[in-house]
């Protein structure tokens, strides 16, 4: 017999038996009662819900600097457009501070509600068939607050629809500071454009290059390059953090770090990949313990954040390291989880990335979220890593231009010619592209003690800021 026909006969017999059983049941009772199906999951999937968000980022923990006053903006959003308006009210709810501290083993003080004013009485409304409300301005005043970091939870209440779970609040980590504001605005496009320097034992010199008229430091960020993971502790299974190369600077922060911070420069700890233990192959408790060690160093020495660079790492090979490889195989997922964990335990610190290698690049772009999170929404900024090449207009990790450097400057003065070559000028100084692109910062490697660097920087700063670079005082040679 044909197999398909036989199968059809069997199915027909089953249907006939089911029909007969149904007929018998109907003859006994006209009211058929079937088991009720729990449709809550289907209802939830189709339900339109609301949530609050910061108007400038998708992060739920946002760092804010406050000197005298500052403004942040929030908005109300919905998961899908609705035929009716969606309303809510934004308020400051101090009870979330203790909840946050308990969940994250932290001890932030609440930012005083008396120092907060919310426009429009906090009322937010998403109009029919729209996805977001208008932005709502929140003004923060320093008043008599001492320097320090305070936690400000902004919460939505009185919603006329349900709220997405855990999305009823955004946390602002308000850093009250007396340091000067050194933000520099591009004179041609009116947008901020910062400078970032990788530096080493001559780090104090980063603060001595200033703009001639405004006297603002040229550099906004100084990266101490670099600490990194080192050998596995075989007894605990943990990966240690090697800071030996910077122990003198860190232990004498009042001499080497504090002067930079007093000028408004953010000092970051550079973290470089190691041997076998890189930034892209830790996982589980090892990764969390390593992140905790990074936080301990940042907190102990009063640093402003970290810069991650997975360069020079020698990951285990599946053929050479046959015993190591299964557990220590690198991946973008592991790299992303390390960044997410660092953000979780350091919500008020800067996390900067260097787009180099297989695991800090396009493998973590907008098409490749990690555990539902885009890395561009977790970290603060990133940069093009390849020296001596033309500018790369866009971030491989899909960061917006205002959080990306499109060029990598390697400052390499040539004693033979007593100047930087014309070829370098043509490669690096594409100021028109920097201005048109609205980029957030420009990255420089190897800022050291040479007074001629002021002339080097002055090749383009007049075009960007309208000012040359000069030295505020003689440069300082390494003293240890």
Sorted by where each starts, the structural domains of the chain and their CATH numbers stand as 48-176 (2.60.40.1740), 194-471 (3.20.20.80)
> Which pLDDT value is given to residue 58?
85
For residue 420, how many other CB atoms are within 10 A of its CB?
18
Q: Strands, E, within 342-460: which ranges? A: 350-354, 381-383, 404-405, 408-410, 441-445
Instruction: Give CA angle at 70 (64, 72), nearest 5°.
Output: 65
Largest CA distance in the chain: 105
Q: Strands, E, within 273-371: which ranges? A: 305-309, 350-354
Give the pair of three-digit tokens for residue 178.
């007396």
Give the pair of three-digit tokens for residue 79.
């998961």
List per-residue pLDDT tens for the chain, 480 residues long.
443 434 333 444 343 433 344 443 433 334 433 334 343 333 345 789 999 999 988 889 999 999 999 999 999 999 999 899 999 999 999 999 999 999 999 999 999 999 999 999 999 999 999 999 999 999 999 999 999 999 999 999 988 889 998 899 999 999 999 999 999 999 999 999 999 999 988 899 999 999 999 999 999 999 999 888 887 776 777 888 989 888 899 999 999 999 999 999 999 999 998 777 889 999 899 999 999 999 999 999 999 999 999 888 888 888 888 888 888 899 999 999 999 999 999 999 999 999 987 789 889 999 999 999 999 999 999 999 887 666 788 999 999 999 999 988 887 655 555 555 555 555 567 788 888 899 999 999 888 778 888 988 898 899 999 999 999 999 887 777
For residue 211, how many other CB atoms are within 10 A of its CB?
21
- Cα 62 to Cα 80: distance, rounded to the nearest angstrom: 25
In the DSSP assignment, the letter for residue 312 is T
3-state secondary structure 92-103: ECCHHHHHHHHH
DSSP letters for 113-155: GGGEEEGGGGEEEE-TT-SB---EEEEEE-TTPPSEEEEEEEE
Buried b (16+ CB within 10 A) or exposed e, 222-258: bbbbbbbbbebeeeeebbbbbbebbeebbeebeebbe
Q: Let me know if 137 is exposed, middle or buried by CB neighbors in 10 A (0-12, 13-18, 19+).
A: middle
Buried b (16+ CB within 10 A) or exposed e, 278-309: bbbbbbeebbbbbbebbbebbeebebbbbbbb
Provide the residue count of the chain. Answer: 480
Q: Which long-range contacts (CB under 8 A, 24 or more apart) does 411-418 make?
A: 411/444, 411/445, 411/446, 411/447, 411/448, 411/453, 411/456, 412/446, 413/450, 413/452, 413/453, 413/456
Strands 469-471 vs 209-211: parallel, antiparallel or unpaired: antiparallel
Residue with tokens 């409304």: 125
Asked whether 443 and 407 are in contact (CB, 8 A), the reply is: yes
> Which pLDDT value is given to residue 425?
56
Buried b (16+ CB within 10 A) or exposed e, 433-470: ebbebbbbbbbbbbbbeeeebbebbbbbbeebbebebb
- pLDDT, tens digit, 9 for 90 and up, residues 379-402: 999 999 887 666 788 999 999 999
> Which pLDDT value is given to residue 427?
59
The alpha-carbon radius of gyration of the chain (Å, integer) is 28
- Cα 446 to Cα 456: distance, rounded to the nearest angstrom: 13
Q: 138 φ, ψ to 5°?
A: -125, 125
> Which pLDDT value is given to residue 63?
95
Residue with tokens 């320090």: 148
Asked whether 40 and 63 are in contact (CB, 8 A), the reply is: no
| The model's pTM | 0.85
């Amino acid at each position: 017999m044909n197999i398909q026909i036989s199968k059809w006969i069997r199915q027909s017999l089953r249907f006939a038996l089911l029909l007969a059983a149904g007929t018998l049941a109907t003859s006994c009772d006209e009211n058929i009662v079937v088991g009720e199906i729990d449709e809550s999951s289907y209802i939830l999937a189709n339900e339109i819900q609301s949530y609050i968000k910061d108007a400038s980022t998708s992060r739920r923990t946002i760092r804010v600097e406050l000197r005298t006053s500052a403004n942040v903006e929030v908005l109300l959003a919905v998961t899908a457009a609705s035929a009716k308006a969606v309303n809510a009210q934004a308020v400051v709810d101090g009870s979330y501070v203790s909840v946050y501290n308990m969940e994250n083993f932290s001890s932030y003080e609440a930012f005083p509600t008396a120092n907060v004013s919310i426009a429009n009485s906090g009322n937010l409304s998403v109009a029919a068939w729209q996805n977001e409300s208008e932005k709502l301005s929140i003004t923060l005043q320093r008043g008599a607050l001492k320097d320090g970091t305070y936690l400000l939870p902004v919460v939505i209440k009185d919603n006329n629809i349900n709220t997405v779970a855990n999305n009823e609040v955004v946390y602002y980590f308000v850093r009250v500071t007396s340091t000067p504001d050194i933000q520099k605005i591009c004179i041609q496009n009116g947008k901020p454009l910062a400078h970032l320097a990788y530096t080493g034992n001559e780090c104090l010199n980063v603060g001595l290059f200033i703009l001639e008229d405004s006297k603002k430091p040229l550099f906004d960020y100084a990266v101490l390059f670099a600490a990194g993971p080192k050998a596995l502790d075989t007894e605990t299974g943990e990966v240690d953090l090697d800071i030996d190369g910077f122990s003198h600077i860190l232990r004498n922060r009042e001499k080497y770090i504090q002067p930079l911070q007093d000028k408004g420069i953010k000092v970051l700890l550079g973290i470089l990949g190691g041997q076998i233990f890189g930034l892209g192959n830790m996982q589980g408790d090892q990764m969390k313990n390593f992140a905790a060690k990074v936080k301990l160093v940042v907190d102990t020495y009063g640093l402003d954040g970290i810069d991650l660079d997975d360069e020079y790492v020698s990951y285990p090979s599946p053929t050479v390291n046959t015993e190591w490889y299964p557990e220590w195989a690198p991946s973008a997922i592991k790299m992303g989880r390390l960044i997410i964990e660092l953000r979780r335990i350091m919500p008020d610190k800067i996390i900067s990335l260097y787009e180099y290698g297989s695991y800090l690049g396009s493998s973590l772009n907008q098409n490749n979220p990690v555990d539902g999170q885009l890395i561009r929404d977790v970290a603060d900024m990133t940069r093009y890593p390849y020296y001596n090449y033309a500018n790369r207009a866009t971030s491989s990790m899909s960061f917006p231009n205002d959080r990306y450097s499109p060029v990598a400057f390697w400052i390499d003065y040539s004693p033979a010619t007593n100047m930087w070559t014309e070829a370098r000028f043509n490669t690096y100084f594409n100021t028109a592209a920097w201005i048109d692109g609205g980029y957030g910062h420009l990255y420089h490697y190897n800022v050291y003690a040479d007074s001629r660097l002021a002339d080097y920087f002055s090749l383009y700063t007049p075009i960007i800021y309208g000012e040359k670079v000069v030295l505020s005082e003689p440069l300082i040679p390494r003293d240890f």
